[in-house]
Amino acid sequence: MEIRSETLQNGPTMQIQRITPHIIGAERNFLFVVIETDSGLVGVGEGGLTWRESATAGFIEAVTPLLLGADPFRTEHLWQVMFRSGFFPAGRVGAAAISALDLALWDIKAQALQVPLYQLLGGLCRNEVPCYPHARGQTTPELVEHARRLVGEGYRFIRTEIRGGRDGSIFDPRPALRLAIEDLAALRSALGPDIELLVDVHTRLDPADALLFCNLAEEYQPYFIEDPLRCENPDSYRRLSARTTVPLAVGEQYSSKWEFRPLIENEWCDFARIDVCLAGGITETVKIAGWCETHGLKLALHNPLGPVSTAACLHIDLASSCFGVQELPRVPGTYLQDLFPVQVPYQRGHLQPPTRNGLGVVIDESRVKAYPPIPEGRCPIWRRADGSFTNW
């Protein structure tokens, strides 16, 4: 299939000249893609299928011939080509690859028009974006101490997670949820009523245990409970949402608007955890966000990744009227600084509007070799006490 470059009225004419995926190994693997044009503009994107980065890079290489010579302004058309051109619609591997490529295309488009990307999404809806970090600790006192430090740094939202019991990689639901309630009670007591608490279950509970946990957590008024159930059957949220008053945040593992459909249409959750680097990039995320607005759902975009993901989330948050809060485990400018010497601005718990054209990040490809990929088989593995597999 050949896609010819076309001249867009009131827009620049350019062609995609080169596409290069990079798998970067740091404390974990990251997948970045660089798109170069014949005009000299360069866009950067990021894909989010954790520990399957080589498969994502393979999909990027497979669709590259469809994109070379194309006009990068045609983001919607190119999205459809990438998603549908293989006869079988793209699954999670393909969606992560398309997400990375789509981000890079939008980066190029905004640079060509000489505006920060959020201007193409409707302009500013807010002056800054409040974020939440990941509070951690091997014990409840350690967790509380870390949370106190984060509040002192300006955060007003604190995220913790349901931990693997007291035995590291061993996860048994009942002991783990009791420990999580201890953590939640201690955090609320230490931080007071004005700090919002978020608990990530990471899809580790079955429906009965998830319902018990949510009902026990109600007393401590969490801002939301995140992904309490496995993602494979969205219908399981029908029962849970009807039997608890705790707000639910769902969707970080979904890779398309079609997977989000039952949760949004039936209002089985309160926050959409869209991953812009997995769910189809900016093109798809904006569609899902608009759908959420019609059902009163707020955005809490999933962002466990690198500087490009953070930048993409920021632009969507700035331009969205249904924004809730933004995940931010890695503060811009504090990691991968040599690879990304230019990152988006941050100040005391809040991401700030970028002034640079495009996404607002710059990659130095000469530093790629300094970050060899981590073998993908090193993904954490959790199990029950009886040795059976469970979600990490």
**Catalytic positions, please?**
202, 302
Alpha-carbon distance of 48 to 31, in angstroms, equals 7
Alpha-carbon distance of 221 to 178, in angstroms, equals 16
In the chain, the amino acid numbered 236 is S
Non-local (6+) Cβ contacts of 82 within 8 A are 63, 66, 67, 90, 94, 97, 98, 101
Buried b (16+ CB within 10 A) or exposed e, 54-75: bbbbebbeebbebbeebbbbbb
**What pairing do the DSSP bridges indicate for beta strands 350-351 and 129-132?**
antiparallel
Give the dihedral of Cα atoms 87, 91, 95, 98; nearest 10 deg.
-20
Chain center to CA of 171: 25
Alpha-carbon distance of 43 to 71, in angstroms, equals 13
Q: How far is CA 190 from CA 140, 145, 183, 194, 243, in A?
A: 11, 9, 11, 11, 29
Chain center to CA of 294: 22
Alpha-carbon distance of 356 to 107, in angstroms, equals 11
Could you give the maximum distance between any two Cα atoms of the chain, in Å?
64
Are 111 and 354 a contacting pair, CB within 8 Å? Answer: no
Alpha-carbon distance of 307 to 328, in angstroms, equals 10
Alpha-carbon distance of 392 to 383, in angstroms, equals 8
Alpha-carbon distance of 79 to 93, in angstroms, equals 15
In the chain, the amino acid numbered 72 is P
